[in-house]
């Protein structure tokens, strides 16, 4: 009996240039916006940087983020925001010799209902496991995420709660937010921890986060372990693609063990 083992190495909440084994794709993320009903065409460069040829097949999937923010793929057409049959790419199957690059073009139709669609195109290769007598194969995947939104899609980011918590002796800040719009939102958070007298103890940032339409995010971000005292935590939310920022400050006190 043949068995299959599926191995996926893919984009975290930060979708950057992705590499699996000897194949890379560039770009690995498309955020497309256009007039409703129009068709948009883009290209993905698929490169073989290894020493052996690869045989790849392009397959479209739906995807969601689980409670830990990890991507989970589903068959295309499963979700309401699926790109489904609106996306066509060429070529679908191809072979790459070492050092060779294939340009894969895709065309997608912009939704007419004001709601963003999304999907992920995986370039897959199925290979037998050397020395395996059971017919087991391993499928490797590397992909590019695609968002397609009409110009009339709405963005509605709302912060429900921002607070500070002490967990196992370390300071965390909680951010609970909801996306009430019809397209995804990306944001990064700069934070600065100060003493009551204004001395800066720490100045850092958390990289780009993704909040999908209709979803609520409730995350705790670690800052640092600090002694008892009074502190001020300043937060600046920066939204990808916009000059708009949101600033918020929290004054809090860390009590000593005997307090």
**Tokens representing 143?**
């992909």
Q: Give the model confidence (pLDDT) of 162-171 as tens digits.
A: 999 999 889 9
The predicted model gives 178-204 an average pLDDT of: 96
Backbone angles phi, psi at 231, to 5 degrees: -140, 165
218 pLDDT exceeds 50?
yes
The arrangement of secondary structure in 157-254, i.e. its CATH architecture, is Sandwich (2.60)
Mean residue pLDDT of the chain comes to: 86
81 pLDDT exceeds 90?
yes
Q: Do domains 4-150 and 157-254 have the same CATH topology?
A: yes
Nearest to 180 by CA among 202, 199, 198, 155: 155
The arrangement of secondary structure in 4-150, i.e. its CATH architecture, is Sandwich (2.60)
The domain spans of the chain are: 4-150, 157-254
Confidence of residue 241 (pLDDT cuts 50, 70, 90): confident
69 pLDDT exceeds 80?
no
Confidence of residue 9 (pLDDT cuts 50, 70, 90): very low
pTM: 0.81
7/224: higher pLDDT: 224
pLDDT at res. 134? 54
52/135: higher pLDDT: 52
Least confident range of 8-12, 81-85, 121-125, 177-181: 8-12
Q: Annotate 40-81 with DSSP letters as a single string.
A: EEEEEEEEE-SSS-EEEEEEEEEEEE-TTS-EEEEETTSSTT
Q: Give the model confidence (pLDDT) of 141-159 as tens digits.
A: 888 999 999 999 999 999 9
| 3 state DSSP class of 86 | helix
> Which helix (H) or strand (E) segment is 203 a member of?
strand 200-211
């Amino acid at each position: 009996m043949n068995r299959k083992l599926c191995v996926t190495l893919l984009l975290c909440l930060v979708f950057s240039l992705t590499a699996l084994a000897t194949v890379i794709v560039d770009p690995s993320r498309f955020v497309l916006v256009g007039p409703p009903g129009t068709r948009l065409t883009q290209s993905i460069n698929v490169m073989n940087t290894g020493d052996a040829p690869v045989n790849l097949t392009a397959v479209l999937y739906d995807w969601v983020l689980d409670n830990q923010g990890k991507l989970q793929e589903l068959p295309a057409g499963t979700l309401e925001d699926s790109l489904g049959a609106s996306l066509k790419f060429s070529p679908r199957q191809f072979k790459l010799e070492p050092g060779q690059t294939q340009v894969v073009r895709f065309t997608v139709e912009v939704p007419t209902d004001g709601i963003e669609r999304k999907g992920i195109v995986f370039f897959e290769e199925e290979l037998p496991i050397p020395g395996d007598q059971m017919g087991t194969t391993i499928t490797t995947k590397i992909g590019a995420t695609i968002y397609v939104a009409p110009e009339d899609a709405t963005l509605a980011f709302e912060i429900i709660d921002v607070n500070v918590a002490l967990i196992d002796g370390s300071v965390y800040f909680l951010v609970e937010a909801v996306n009430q719009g019809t397209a995804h939102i990306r944001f990064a958070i700069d934070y600065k921890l100060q003493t009551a007298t204004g001395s800066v103890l720490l100045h850092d940032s958390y990289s780009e986060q993704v909040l999908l339409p209709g979803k609520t995010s409730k995350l705790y971000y670690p800052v640092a372990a600090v002694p008892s005292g009074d502190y001020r935590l300043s937060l600046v939310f920066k939204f990808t693609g916009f000059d708009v920022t949101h600033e918020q400050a929290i004054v809090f006190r860390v009590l000593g063990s005997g307090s």
